[in-house]
Structure 1
């Protein structure tokens, strides 16, 4: 028997990890967040004009429709409140730890939410944007306006939980239900904050952009760390 021929042809170089959609989104989201933050900080007149027009219209509706306003206050204070969202995140982290093999994911989830809160509070202090002031307010809020903590927290928590459902192979029905709830929550909390007259429209948009940027950056970091350790 003749020995099997040895393949001496050069092997193709190893493939680089494919760039994920979240990795491609990070620069765009970060750029948009920085640009909007700068425009808010310098009080760019066109932006201030749009914010003022939207705020006056929604405040007029809020005063004229107290029933809807009451519902929005309940939603923003109890359902979509940042504390409620953080408790949801904590519950997810506990579930991951309970699964034992996913303890690192629980740490990553908790740290991401904590860092998002630090970023949010740092920007609020740095920009120091005043909230809308009304002679007949329908709600009140403390601290500075930009970015909206409600909008940013909802975006971060919902975005991370949706990614975890996809990462852990949740069923199609569960994922579709979760996506619908996340979209309603993120959009709804933004609407309530503007309707109740405690945020400008750009505060909410800034919260959405910053939250999405945090989610994209965090999931990209997690994916790359996992791929690097899988190759060791």
Structure 2
């Protein structure tokens, strides 16, 4: 019995080879080069984070210039509306609001049957926050002292890296990545997501400044939070892409078996 091929699957493979594009519609060569650069930068970032954590573990006090920087940020006379926006980013990211936000988004993804996106989002947040806690427990850096700068709310949690900053990078970064995937980009009403995307970028940029303004973290804590958040986010995006490719290959294989069975029956 001669073995038949999968016409639809073959067409998809030929189309991709012809167009030289990835599942996301990107050029294959450019994508390979970009991913090599991404991996190199990721490894460099990891080395910087680990080195910084070790250094601050040995020198827990503020670094040179950090006290002056915090005082300069706090000495600025902000417009009332701008001050409200900056403090909102921090308050909106406290433990209870964060749990509610994550739960709402996760349930929403489940309701619309975006299973892969739901678990990608939840794992990114949960494991990212857990990793941040582990780093903080190793460094054990105390929060800024009220004797040095104005502290809005004295906290006892570890200071490095900033948990609020890391959480925002992973939370909004994961959602932003999902909104820029091919299926969502080609959605007829994708423009509806533009206000959210703008807010997400603003929240990521504003949270670090807000934490310094409120005296909750030193500048190095915030930078460490951004770095740890980005490293974890890009690692989870890599996993997301890998799972997506596996699903696509499984779908092609399944379609080929179905076409082969129908050809044999005919």
Q: CA deviation at 1:152?
A: 0.6
**Once the two structures are superposed, what CA deviation does each residue of 1:166-194 show, in whole Å capped at 9, x if it has no partner?**
12414553454333212211121111110
| Aligned residue among 136, 142, 146 for 2:156 | 142
Q: Which residue in 1 is equivalent to 2:65?
A: 50
CA distance in 2, matches of 1:49, 1:69: 28
**Are positions 1:153 and 2:167 aligned together?**
yes
Please report the TM-score for the alignment, with normalisation by the length of structure 2: 0.69
Q: Which residue in 2 is equivalent to 1:11?
A: none
CA distance in 2, matches of 1:68, 1:54: 23
Q: CA deviation at 1:67?
A: 5.6
> Is there any run of 5+ residues in structure 1 with no aligned partner, and where?
1-13
Q: Which residue in 1 is equivalent to 2:14?
A: none
| Aligned residue among 83, 91, 97 for 1:78 | 91
**Once the two structures are superposed, what CA deviation does each residue of 1:84-133 show, in whole Å capped at 9, x if it has no partner?**
34432322221221122x22321222122110111111111110001111
CA distance in 2, matches of 1:175, 1:151: 23
Q: Which residue in 1 is equivalent to 2:236?
A: 218
RMSD: 3.2
Q: Which residue in 1 is equivalent to 2:221?
A: 203
| Aligned residue among 28, 38, 41 for 2:54 | 38
| Aligned residue among 172, 177, 180 for 1:166 | 180
CA distance in 1, matches of 2:146, 2:173: 33
> Is there any run of 5+ residues in structure 2 with no aligned partner, and where?
1-16, 23-27, 251-266
SS of corresponding position for 1:48: coil
Q: Which residue in 1 is equivalent to 2:120?
A: 108
Q: Which residue in 2 is equivalent to 1:87?
A: 100
**Once the two structures are superposed, what CA deviation does each residue of 1:125-158 show, in whole Å capped at 9, x if it has no partner?**
1100011112454332221100111111011000
CA distance in 2, matches of 1:169, 1:37: 38
Q: CA deviation at 1:66?
A: 11
User: Higher mean Cα deviation, 29-38 or 107-116?
Assistant: 29-38
Give the 5 Å matches for 1:13-32.
18-19=31-32, 21=35, 23-24=38-39, 25-32=41-48
